[in-house]
């Protein structure tokens, strides 16, 4: 390679972003001069594709396209793989058919399969026709699996060896490669029928005598996965066993690909982002510089649900208008009950959703979880409800109001704990993501329940 693209540190990367933004906006009222374009090209050429992806995601659409057009064409494919789906869509929309074909041509089959869904449908026949038969078969294989299955992520570039050869033969074989596939930490050992029989870690190859046979040195007991395995479960296995790569085999044990740590890191990151977005009621990842209409379409559904739940909560308050008119203190204190319940419930639901994601929750553990969370809620309700009850009693010179406040706080925390476990369980039974909209439903329950409990008790004992 004539040039080396390095990964920027966080501070340097932000400095690069600021410099690019400054350069772009020095010429707001006129086209970017050739000298400025050349400066930008040099800056971009020195950056790693992942860093360019970060910069593109951080720019408004017009600036993003201006920078994208200055990126070297041979780097387009690598950058498209790094950007988010929403940003990738905007970049591809700016490319013509020839540019897209040139961008995806150098990509491996597994990488190409990642991009196919985002490419214009009319281009797919031409794209598939441009591939050789092996690449076409690999791309079709990867595309045949759902996005959350391992088969959609497996890499077809790997080094295989036979068990009936010596380590010296293996070393000579490896020297014929210009470079090994990325993340190669082990070689996959197969027999004449392409059945996986073991793996040979590279460091074992280096420290053993060249005269030894592969069958003597290899590890026959190896972590293997199937293309239909859930990708997130495999990512957890990678974390558990500190894997860098692992073989993917079919139902008969034939080696068909491998999975690498970089793909698993992406799965974990995407799962985390999906959970975070789902809890906020967002349907998909959103380009922060997307159009108003695109953002509205992404957000409206759960906002509509939230509006309905908020209206119901307001009607609960309306049931007790008479009590509130007689004792204004209720209006100032009831948000405390609802707010603390919501916070406590969010703590519970976060723990439960995380445990579900890690497969640490089974049917036998549900009752124990409920008992535990209700016990925590009871303790917190008595302690912190007692504290705020004393404050309310002193502030409004009403011991009865303090008792009502303590009781309402305790009961709402118990409700929050019950729903914090119950909502994710219900979502699972309905076949839905337990994190999807969980905060919206929980807030509805703790607000409505908190208002009803507090104002109901106040109506009985104070008014």
Task: Sketch out the chain's domains with CATH numbers.
Answer: 3-148 (1.25.60.10), 160-279 (3.10.580.10), 292-461 (1.10.357.20)
Q: What is the mean pLDDT of residues 323-351?
A: 88
Instruction: Encode pLDDT of 84-116 as tens digits.
Output: 888 998 999 999 989 998 898 888 888 888 888
Residues whose CB falls within 8 Å of the CB of residue 79, separated by 6 or more in sequence, listed in order: 49, 52, 53, 56, 71, 91
Instruction: Encode pLDDT of 136-183 as tens digits.
Output: 888 888 888 998 899 999 999 999 999 999 999 999 999 999 999 999
Cα distance between residue 41 and residue 67, in whole Å: 9
Check pLDDT > 60 for residue 1.
Answer: no
Q: What is the mean pLDDT of residues 68-80?
A: 93
Which of 100-109, 181-190, 249-258 has the lowest average pLDDT?
A: 100-109
More confident residue, 415 or 366: 415
Q: What is the CB neighbour count within 10 angstroms for residue 199? A: 22
Cα distance between residue 33 and residue 343, in whole Å: 54
- Average per-residue pLDDT for the chain: 87
Instruction: Encode pLDDT of 49-67 as tens digits.
Output: 999 999 999 998 888 999 9
Percent of the chain with pLDDT over 90: 50
Instruction: Encode pLDDT of 222-242 as tens digits.
Output: 899 999 999 999 999 999 999
pLDDT of residue 262: 92
- Give the model's confidence band at 6: pLDDT under 50 very low, under 70 low, under 90 confident, else very high: low
Instruction: Encode pLDDT of 425-454 as tens digits.
Output: 888 888 777 777 677 888 889 999 999 999
pLDDT of residue 7: 61
Q: What is the CB neighbour count within 10 angstroms for residue 320? A: 19
Q: What is the CB neighbour count within 10 angstroms for residue 331? A: 13
Q: What is the mean pLDDT of residues 6-34?
A: 76
Check pLDDT > 50 for residue 2.
Answer: no
Residues whose CB falls within 8 Å of the CB of residue 190, separated by 6 or more in sequence, listed in order: 160, 161, 162, 163, 196, 197, 255
Q: What is the mean pLDDT of residues 401-419?
A: 94
Q: What is the mean pLDDT of residues 37-41?
A: 90
Check pLDDT > 50 for residue 324.
Answer: yes
pLDDT of residue 261: 96
- Give the model's confidence band at 190: pLDDT under 50 very low, under 70 low, under 90 confident, else very high: very high
Q: What is the mean pLDDT of residues 252-259?
A: 95
User: How far are the Cα atoms of 161, 185, 252, 257, 458 from residue 218, in angstroms, in the given order?
Assistant: 11, 13, 21, 19, 74
Check pLDDT > 50 for residue 309.
Answer: yes
Check pLDDT > 60 for residue 4.
Answer: no
Check pLDDT > 90 for residue 276.
Answer: no
């Amino acid at each position: 390679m004539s040039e080396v693209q390095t990964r920027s540190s966080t501070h340097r990367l932000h400095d690069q972003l600021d410099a690019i933004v400054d350069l772009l906006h020095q010429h707001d009222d006129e086209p970017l001069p050739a000298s400025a374009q050349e400066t930008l090209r040099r800056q971009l050429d020195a950056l790693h594709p992942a860093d360019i992806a970060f910069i593109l995601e951080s720019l408004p659409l017009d600036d993003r396209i201006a920078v994208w057009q200055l990126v070297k064409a041979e780097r387009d494919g690598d950058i498209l793989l790094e950007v988010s789906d929403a940003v990738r869509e905007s970049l591809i929309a700016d490319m013509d058919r020839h540019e897209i074909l040139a961008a995806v041509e150098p990509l491996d089959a597994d990488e190409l399969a990642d991009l196919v869904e985002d490419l214009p449908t009319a281009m797919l026949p031409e794209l598939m026709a441009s591939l050789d038969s092996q690449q076409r078969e690999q791309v079709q294989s990867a595309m045949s699996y759902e996005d959350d299955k391992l088969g959609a992520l497996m890499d077809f570039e790997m080094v295989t060896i036979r068990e009936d050869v010596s380590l010296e033969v293996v070393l000579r074989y490896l020297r014929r490669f210009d470079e090994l596939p990325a993340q190669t930490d082990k070689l996959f050992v197969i027999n004449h029928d392409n059945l996986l029989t073991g793996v040979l870690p590279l460091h074992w190859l280096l420290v053993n005598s060249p005269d030894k046979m592969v069958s003597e040195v290899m590890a026959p007991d190896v972590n293997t996965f199937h293309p239909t395995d859930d990708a997130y479960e495999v990512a957890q296995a990678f974390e558990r066993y500190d894997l860098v790569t692992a073989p993917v085999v079919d139902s008969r044990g034939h080696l068909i690909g491998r999975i690498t740590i970089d793909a698993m890191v992406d799965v974990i990151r995407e799962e985390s982002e999906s959970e975070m977005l789902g809890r906020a009621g967002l349907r998909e990842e959103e380009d922060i510089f997307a159009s108003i209409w695109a953002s509205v379409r992404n957000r409206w559904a759960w906002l509509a649900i939230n509006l309905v739940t908020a209206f119901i909560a307001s009607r609960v308050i309306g049931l007790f208008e008479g009590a509130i008119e007689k004792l204004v203190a209720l209006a100032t204190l009831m948000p405390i009950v609802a707010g603390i319940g919501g916070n406590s419930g969010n703590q519970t639901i976060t723990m439960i959703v995380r445990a579900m994601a890690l497969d640490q929750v089974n049917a036998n553990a549900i009752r124990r979880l409920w008992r535990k969370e209700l016990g925590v809620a009871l303790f917190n309700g008595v302690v912190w409800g007692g504290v705020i009850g004393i404050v309310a009693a002193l502030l409004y010179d009403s011991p009865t109001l303090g008792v009502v406040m303590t009781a309402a706080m305790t009961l709402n925390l118990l409700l929050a704990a019950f729903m914090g476990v119950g909502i994710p369980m219900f979502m699972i039974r309905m076949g839905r993501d337990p994190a999807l909209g969980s905060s919206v439903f929980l807030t509805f329950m703790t607000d409505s329940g908190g208002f009803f409990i507090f104002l109901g008790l106040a109506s009985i004992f104070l008014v």
